[in-house]
Amino acid sequence: MVIFLWIIFTFVLLVLTLKYYFGTTRWCKSTVTLNGRTVLITGGNIGIGKATAIDLANRGARMIIASRNKEKAIQTIKEINDKTGNDNVRFMYLDLMDLEVVRQFAEQFLNEEKRLDILINNSGIAGWAYKTIGPKTKQNYDIIFGVNHLGHFLLTYLLLDLLKKTRNSRIINVSSLMHLWRRARLTYDKGPNKDGMLYPDLAGYKTSKLANVMHSKMLSKILQGTPVTANSVHPGLAATDILMAPLKSVLPEKLYSIVDPIFRFISLDSAGGAQTTIFAAVDESLNSVTGKHFGHCRLARENKLAQEDKACEQLWDYSMKMCGLT
């Protein structure tokens, strides 16, 4: 009986410790309003992106939700209208799996929008995409690297002139804690694999999230002297589809029914996960801060590779090539 009680006590203590470490975060305290400003967010129809969009719309921003799922986006827009009273919210179709569609989106955006104050590259997919979508993008790159990095790289590049013209603009790349993992790597010298995938070593979630941080680093250097800043954030451990879907796909149903509520208890909800993105988008203390990485609404640790100028420059050069910009 004593042993059983010790096991229960140890388990509860472990869960509470994990809750303290992963399930708490600083909240953005800024009361800045965004009246007259335009925000573009990718993947703003679900999860952390949706929570971010609701907060910024509540501050008065003109919100543009870019997504390939029109039905979910329209539902989200209605919810934003109801919760915030802000009806200055629109949907624009964007498929980050196809770079040609990204180009078409940018062309439409530049024709229809006169300013862009905040660009939030939020949309992302994880390992489950290999089964549900397929292994490759339209241009034969790894699907995860293509969506999480290349699509956003091209989108940002095509909108840079408008960001500069608007002035005091911000670019935010949503990365992940997983970019810190040692296995996140960037190698470019291997030829196509048997399925025709180009740069097959540029694969996986960790690698794509490392690329997000390095992209922000290079943007901050390239945009030096301009009225545009670029930073990256990690949302912390949040119980969103990008994490829960893989768990559900690999665990037996009964085990998942046990793990799911525990995981949700120890992790952040979407609103909590959105706080650092919101902080990076609006906090006045960051008006001139660029090239930094944030988590829990403060500076966060980066992968050492993101601090190497040559590595960041190499990623930039290859990304330009992969996107057909050189």
What's the predicted TM-score (pTM) here?
0.89
Look up residue 26 and give its DSSP letter. Answer: P
pLDDT, tens digit, 9 for 90 and up, residues 45-61: 999 999 999 999 999 99
Domain chopping of the chain, boundaries: 30-81+97-322
pLDDT, tens digit, 9 for 90 and up, residues 120-175: 999 999 877 777 788 999 999 999 999 999 999 999 999 999 999 999 999 999 99
Instruction: Give domain 30-81+97-322's CATH superfamily.
Output: NAD(P)-binding Rossmann-like Domain (3.40.50.720)
* Confidence at 9, pLDDT banded by 50, 70, 90: very low
- Residue partners of 72: CB distance under 8 A and separation at least 6: 45, 46
Count of residues making up the chain: 326
Residue 87 bridge partners (DSSP)? none
* Confidence at 7, pLDDT banded by 50, 70, 90: low
pLDDT, tens digit, 9 for 90 and up, residues 201-232: 888 889 999 999 999 999 999 999 999 999 99
Give the residue numbers annotated as catalytic, written as ranges: 205
Residue 233 bridge partners (DSSP)? 174, 294
CA distance 164 to 226: 7
